[in-house]
Amino acid sequence: MKKVPLIVRAVTSLVMLLLVGSLFSRAQSVVAPQVADSLINITRLNDKTLLMGLAADAVTAIATQKGIVIIDAGISGSLSSQYRVILEKELKRNDFVYVINTHGHHDHTYGNAAFTKATIIAHENAIKEIHDQWSDTAKVHAGLKKTLKQFDERLAGFPKGSSEWQEVFCQRTRYNCAYEDAVNHVEVRYPDRLFIDTLQLSMGDIHLDMIYFGKSHSESDIMVYIPEMKMFWVGDLFFKYGRPSFDTLDKQHLYQYRKAIAWITSRSSESDIVINGHGQIMDKGDMDSFIEIIKKKI
Ligand SMILES: [Zn+2]
């Protein structure tokens, strides 16, 4: 028998040990899920802009002269890492410079971790909002597990492979990515460039205008506008037909709501495209309806 040097044997044993360890950990289902690329939607909004995501994730990527800007990062770091790889192939570049969080909810911010070199921009209230959501990790795990169970119950009610089943399956897969990330301690990446009222960013060929809307769907809702594209991003503030995602407004924020409405009105035009935080592509009519509803409340 050929004599194997001790160091080689030691390394071989270590590799075997790691392999067995990784197989064991797979059995314990701690490996971050890899989602089939075919389940991930990708829409080209214009020559610079892509909107992508699995189910209700809506991550926008804008290729500018000064780097790629992401608006909303999705529900999971591992899932958004997969989006990032697809984006790099589509855009043929990987210079992600900014991620803008439209608000602090976990399904818009946990994906921040995928864009390691980018500066994360958000309203200043997002820090506390994100911190509060993650202060009790056991509660986060239990909450996500409960959501997965609810999806499983809904799945059982549809014939496997039907369009309803497929839709719920994609939502379940999306939440499962967040659950797996949470139990695997994927980092929660906090915003590192904050603003209070408005923020303007020049990216060379395009400009980004941001405004804090005032306390409404969350404590940190902002809108983003790109004048060169006549496009608004409104996060979860409203859905199709201008349907707001909140019932009441805070009297202490009346000044801010009025200011935000004036800001929107001064920018709005007939050809506006309005993107919401879960991928709905809307128009000026939806924005006008939302403004009418808010005006009645203030
Ligand atoms: Zn939200």
pLDDT in tens, 24-66: 333 333 245 589 999 999 999 999 999 999 999 999 999 999 9
The DSSP code sequence of 236-250 is TSEEGGGEES-S---
Instruction: Determine the distance separating the centroid of ligand 1 and the alpha carbon of 245, expressed in angstroms.
Output: 9
pLDDT higher at 296 or 28 = 296
pLDDT recorded at residue 1: 41
Q: How many CB atoms lie within 10 A of CB 280?
A: 15
Instruction: Determine the distance separating the centroid of ligand 1 and the alpha carbon of 291, expressed in angstroms.
Output: 19
Instruction: Determine the distance separating the centroid of ligand 1 and the alpha carbon of 3, expressed in angstroms.
Output: 63
Q: Lowest-confidence range among 5-9, 102-106, 205-209, 278-282?
A: 5-9
Instruction: Determine the distance separating the centroid of ligand 1 and the alpha carbon of 218, expressed in angstroms.
Output: 7
Instruction: Determine the distance separating the centroid of ligand 1 and the alpha carbon of 31, expressed in angstroms.
Output: 27
- Mean pLDDT throughout 122-151? 98
Backbone φ, ψ for residue 191 (5° rounding): -60, 145
Sign of the dihedral defined by the CA atoms of residues 226, 229, 230, 231, in that order? negative
**Cα–Cα distances in Å, from 117 out to 68, 69, 113, 258?**
11, 12, 9, 36
Fold of 37-131+189-297: Metallo-beta-lactamase; Chain A (3.60.15)
pLDDT at 203 over 80: yes
Distance CA 125, CA 109 (A): 13
pLDDT in tens, 214-266: 999 999 999 999 999 999 999 999 999 999 999 999 999 999 999 999 999 99
pLDDT at 22 over 90: no
DSSP-derived 3-state class of residue 228: coil
Q: Lowest-confidence range among 31-40, 74-83, 87-96, 134-143?
A: 31-40
Angle, helices 137-156/126-134, rounded to nearest 10 degrees: 80
Instruction: With beta carbons less than 8 A apart as the criterion, state whether 229 and 273 touch.
Output: yes
Q: What is the mean pLDDT of the chain?
A: 91
Instruction: Determine the distance separating the centroid of ligand 1 and the alpha carbon of 91, expressed in angstroms.
Output: 28
Instruction: Determine the distance separating the centroid of ligand 1 and the alpha carbon of 243, expressed in angstroms.
Output: 14
pLDDT recorded at residue 137: 95
